[in-house]
Chain A
Amino acid sequence: MNNLIVLPIILPLVASVIVAFFPKKLNIARKFSQITSVLLTAVAAYLAWYVFTNETVVMQSGGWDAPFGISIVGDSLSMLLVLTSSIVGTAAIFYAPSALEEQQEKFYFYTFYFLLISGVSGAFMTGDLFNLFVFFEVLLMASYGLIVLGNGKIQLRESFKYVLFNLFSSMLFVTSVAFIYAITGTVNLAHLAERVGEIEEQGILTTVAIVLFFVFAVKAAIFPLYYWLPNSYVVPNPVVSALFGALLTKVGIYSILRVFTLIFVHDTGVTHQIFIWLAMLTMLFGVIGALSTNNVKLIITYNIIPAIGFMLMGVGLFTETAIAGSVYYLMHDMVIKGALFFFIGALIVAAGTKDLTKMTGVIQKYPLLGWLFFIASLVLAGVPPFSGFIGKLLLLQGGLDQEEFLLVIVALVSSLLILFSMMRIFIRGFWGELMEGISDNRKRVRNLTIPGLVLLSISVYLGIAAESVYPHIEAIANMLLDRTEYISTVLKE
């Protein structure tokens, strides 16, 4: 069992190599990728089930026990996120053939896709700070490949900036690992957590913690470091945007969640208080961005940012309810961002334009797409009984418990504005007279809608069946706050 835990990393890695051998034979590549993705989801589901019902599984690679070897840790949080990301990934694989041009598919889309999934799973499961950097690089390299797919003029222009920002923050990551190694003499997360308490000079630890937070904040797009995100996420193909929006920023926020609940909890008065302020500003500025544009895809892209603010809010509040809310919101947001990007891709194909002022009445020809988009908007904004509501409820409850009233008010206002920005698309794009020049390619639009439908139904299930999901999330929050369990499992004391 211990060795099987590495499958969500190895399986896509092997698949990416295999599929690189026949990029031009599209039929085989598609079938192979679809089968592998479904298989990967099944494996992830089995592993998640095993971890949830039994215990945390730790693989010490090469037989070198932690802290000397590299540990791959499958605890309930990691496995939950691996499962969610493989579900989103599988939906994207079924979406890709209709969304991408053949030329783009032939240029190694599936190879990059599997590398991305491998990197994301690895980042979720690694128990080693430097290894986290390596998996960040794996997923970033794959994302560089995906973002330039299509080779457009503006796409290249924005990709260059995207690569630059990520490269710089990666170098800072290496620097902060160097700092941490100099102070504590280890890079293993569990060992770090143990040693941080023994260090006498807590001030320098706080400084390093902030440097590390800066790195993760660039990846997660937290105010004021989110400016690279909107332009670079809006230029690639919808399926690539969906993968990025659903998975990449979430890896950043997962790292914050992990590092700032496990290691740097020595001075929560400074670090976690900063998070609360940044969460507020992230929510506000993200949602203002979403209201500022008429490009439908850019509206969805901007909506990634306030969601990050909500998750950061839970880490900042640092109570059981709030952390549970963050984890719930993280899982919910991965699913719903995927679904929304899928629907927007379908809408752009159906209407033939990205400009909201030029489209109207799409729902008359494509009612299924219209209503699904409507439900997805409600889920995103957090209208009960959907999944966004549960996450936000827990977060707001945590905020009220800590008497952070300003934060709660900002969160509520930005939720309202998120709903407003989504309803703008619905009212102006879907309602009204049927527009001229609407696409007649019903088959393609249907193919683009179905994967979103699957994700949306998962999201609705997470909301309606919260009673059965919540106890697991609560257990995860308990585990995150009780660091000793993680430390003793990894270090085998």
Chain B
Amino acid sequence: MEIIMTVLASILFATGIYNLLQKQLLRIVIGTVLVSHGAHLFLLTMSQLKRGAPPLVVDGVTQYTDPLPQALILTAIVISFGVTSFLLVLAYRTYTLNKTDNMEELRGSEHE
């Protein structure tokens, strides 16, 4: 199971990076979303996918799931959600002000 998850995460990474290297702003934003999904999936997989009881000390239960990656992944998801929504607004504002969504045309060395 871990191997399938790792392969899935790596596919997400690959597609994400492919999108990051595109010229259109929206594709780049989608690329960041895919990369962050890959990272989160990876985080979940890394502590091994175990079946077991909730991590509460109860008599007679020997196998517990590891709660830490789940706590970490929640935090990371919330953060990447916030950043993505900010990035979408930023991409939209950049597009309306610069009148282009092509990264090639957003180059330049003049600083106002």
- Are A160 and B42 within 8 A (Cβ)? no
Please, what's the 1-or-0 string for A162-200, where 1 marks a CB less than 8 Å from any CB in chain B?
Answer: 011001101110110111011001010000000000000
14 contacts across the A-B interface (CB closer than 8 A): A137-B83, A151-B97, A156-B93, A156-B94, A159-B90, A160-B90, A163-B86, A164-B20, A164-B28, A168-B32, A171-B32, A171-B39, A174-B36, A181-B69
- Are B43 and A154 within 8 A (Cβ)? no
User: What chain A residues lie within 8 Å of B20 (beta carbons)?
Assistant: 164, 168
- Determine how close the nearest CB of chain B comes to the CB of A300; give it in whole angstroms: 13
User: What chain B residues lie within 8 Å of A172 (beta carbons)?
Assistant: 39
User: What chain B residues lie within 8 Å of A492 (beta carbons)?
Assistant: none
Number of A residues, CB within 8 Å of B:
39
User: What chain B residues lie within 8 Å of A295 (beta carbons)?
Assistant: 111
Interface residues of A (CB under 8 A from B): 130, 133-134, 137, 141, 144, 148, 151-157, 159-160, 163-164, 167-168, 170-172, 174-175, 177-179, 181-182, 185, 187, 231, 234-235, 295, 297-298, 354
- Determine how close the nearest CB of chain A comes to the CB of B25; give it in whole angstroms: 7
B79 interface residue per 8 A CB criterion: yes
B58-80 with Cβ < 8 A to chain A: 68-69, 72, 75-76, 79-80
| Pick from A157, A171, A181: contact of B68, CB under 8 Å | A181
- Determine how close the nearest CB of chain B comes to the CB of A177; give it in whole angstroms: 7
B7 interface residue per 8 A CB criterion: no
Once bound together, how far apart are the Cα atoms of A144 and B79, in whole Å?
Answer: 13
Once bound together, how far apart are the Cα atoms of A235 and B36, in whole Å?
Answer: 28
User: What chain A residues lie within 8 Å of B47 (beta carbons)?
Assistant: 181-182, 185
- Are B112 and A155 within 8 A (Cβ)? yes
Task: Summarize A's interface: helix, strand, loop or mixed.
Answer: helix
Q: Which A residue's beta carbon lies closest to that of B71?
A: A130
User: What chain A residues lie within 8 Å of B38 (beta carbons)?
Assistant: 171
- Are B110 and A168 within 8 A (Cβ)? no
- CB-CB under 8 A for A178 and B46, given A130-B72, A152-B112, A171-B36: yes
Q: Which A residue's beta carbon lies closest to that of B95?
A: A156
User: What chain B residues lie within 8 Å of A178 (beta carbons)?
Assistant: 39, 42-43, 45-46, 69
User: What chain A residues lie within 8 Å of B28 (beta carbons)?
Assistant: 164
Extra 7 A-B pairs, beta carbons < 8 Å, given A179-B46, A295-B111: A151-B93, A156-B98, A160-B94, A163-B87, A185-B47, A235-B111, A298-B111
| Pick from B39, B79, B93: contact of A137, CB under 8 Å | B79
Q: Which B residue's beta carbon lies closest to that of A140?
A: B83
- Determine how close the nearest CB of chain A comes to the CB of B75; give it in whole angstroms: 6
- Determine how close the nearest CB of chain A comes to the CB of B108; give it in whole angstroms: 7
| Pick from B46, B80, B98: contact of A157, CB under 8 Å | B98
Once bound together, how far apart are the Cα atoms of A137 and B28, in whole Å?
Answer: 20
- Are B72 and A177 within 8 A (Cβ)? yes
- Are B97 and A153 within 8 A (Cβ)? yes
- Are A163 and B90 within 8 A (Cβ)? yes
- Are B111 and A354 within 8 A (Cβ)? yes
User: What chain B residues lie within 8 Å of A175 (beta carbons)?
Assistant: 39, 42-43
- Are A235 and B90 within 8 A (Cβ)? no
User: What chain B residues lie within 8 Å of A130 (beta carbons)?
Assistant: 72, 75
Q: Nearest 6 A-B pairs (CB), nearest first?
A: A182-B46, A178-B46, A178-B43, A174-B39, A156-B94, A171-B39
- Determine how close the nearest CB of chain A comes to the CB of B1; give it in whole angstroms: 15
